[in-house]
Amino acid sequence: MRETYDEQQAASRLRVSVAAWRWAAASGAVPAADAGPGLWSRAVVESTDAEAVRAALPGPAGAWWAAERLTEALGAPLPRCRPRVTPAAIGHLVRAGLLVHLGGDPAYPDVHPDQVAALARRRDLPALLDRHVPLGPDQAAVRLGVRRIDFDHVVRLGWITPTGTVEIDYKRHGGVTTVPLYSAEDVALLPLTRPTVDWHALRTVPAGRRSPLAALTPTDPDHDTVLLVEVARIAGVGRAAVVNWRRRHPDFPAPAGGDDVHPTFARSAVVAWLLDHDKIAVPSTVPTATLHLRPTGAPTRRFQLEDPWIELSDDPEGEDRLTGWMADDDTADTLAVLAAADASVSRLTAPGTDPLALPGGARVIDRFRPGSGGLRVTLAWPSHLRGHAARTHTGGLLRHALPYTAPGTDCRCAQQACGGIIPTPYCPDHGHTAEPALEWHPAGGIRCTHLTRPAVTPA
């Protein structure tokens, strides 16, 4: 009688599939290999419940199915600058230890559907894909948000180099072709590591136009250096902060050239140091603004604008503006119709500002399609309507009220730094039965800000 069994022999002994045994071994349904790497003793195999091994694997699922599930998890439609997950990516996730190989071609493996579902639920899925799944040139162009010809110039300039290759058989369309593979993290970091490039202009260049990168001279990898001021731009801080890091951290990269006053540093070494010390992070998605519009008597509608730019006016007579990119014309049409119907903005969350809200007044003032596939939309609203969104699950505009007469001693309304109050229904001075005379203003808006300044400024 055989004394040790590998996975094939153990599966045969129990009359289960090899995939089922692999999953049982990976998930702990059977004891760990006790007779050597990938080998089980006769006692362990014969004591294993074959029905339990079979029941543990509802599948397995093919790489194509798994790729579709992970693509769906990224969002529908896909976020801008995020390519679809391919079956080949499932092979890379298996090799990274995030999925268990249950059979089939190692490049396009069969995997457990429950494990795919668990991976799809992870909030860091985009970061995991960037870390473990390399990209071909076409996918890299999508990840960077540029045309393929622009990415080819990025390669020509020496800003990124392949980390490997893969051979693809195009059959009657050219036979076997070697395709370079690029680190998705390196691709995603390019807008940070090359801060002098106008990436928004590059991402919106019309089809058929010459690439803005075509006139640039390739970089010599041995002389790709940066000054302290450019290190600061990469990290999004001031030059003084970088000088401080260099003084406090002995592992800060040594100068690669320059002089004592203006030292230069290897760009790759600086970027690696910034990543290791959490001074920069790999952008997993393009920044987005989320807009919640609430039409009168209708449910709230949610819209997303990618790569947003928001301009808030300091003049009560002025306008606030929000510009961003939308997925399609239908979504932009719906936004324009709701805005024209004077829907209120219950919550606007955008990078660089606190959540905002306003009671109507928003309108679409511009729509522009540059020819590169995106649709740029601009909204505007009177700045005096703007206020902070209420800190509740329902959102909405939080307002303060200035009473025309001083609150009495029995007033229990919440007092605000601006001198205003938030009336309570049972207040004898400001409740529903008192019908007080109040001057309302949005919390965090221009009026509130102006009133707050004297209250918090030392005498």
What's the N-to-C CA distance of the chain in angstroms?
94
Query: Which residues touch 112 (CB under 8 Å, ≥6 apart)?
Result: 23, 27, 57, 59, 60, 61, 99, 100, 102
71 in Cβ contact with 78 (< 8 Å): yes
pLDDT confidence of residue 394: 59
pLDDT confidence of residue 381: 92
Give the separation between CA 153 and CA 137, rounded to whole angstroms: 11
Q: Which two tokens stand for residue 264?
A: 């230069």
Give the separation between CA 409 and CA 402, rounded to whole angstroms: 16
For 293-303, letters b (16+ CB in 10 Å) and e give bbeeeeebeeb
pLDDT confidence of residue 423: 81
pLDDT confidence of residue 459: 40
459 residues of the chain, pLDDT tens digit each: 568 888 888 888 888 877 788 888 887 888 888 888 888 888 888 888 888 887 777 777 888 888 888 887 887 667 778 898 999 999 999 999 999 998 888 899 989 888 898 898 887 889 899 999 999 999 999 999 899 999 999 999 999 999 999 887 766 656 778 899 999 999 999 999 998 888 888 888 888 889 999 999 998 888 899 999 999 999 988 889 999 999 999 999 999 988 888 999 999 999 999 999 888 888 876 677 888 888 888 888 888 887 788 888 888 888 999 988 886 778 888 888 888 888 888 889 887 778 889 888 899 998 887 654 567 899 999 998 888 887 665 567 878 888 877 777 778 788 888 888 888 888 877 777 666 667 788 888 888 888 877 554 444
pLDDT confidence of residue 77: 64
Give the separation between CA 301 and CA 331, rounded to whole angstroms: 11
Give the separation between CA 49 and CA 358, rounded to whole angstroms: 63
For 278: left if phi > 0, alpha if psi spans -120 to 50, otherwise beta; the answer is left
Give the separation between CA 238 and CA 116, rounded to whole angstroms: 43
Query: Which residues touch 367 (CB under 8 Å, ≥6 apart)?
Result: 332, 336, 375, 376, 377, 378
* Four-CA torsion 99, 105, 107, 109, nearest 10 degrees: -20
Residue 60 DSSP class: -
Closest CA to 69 of 24, 111, 116: 116
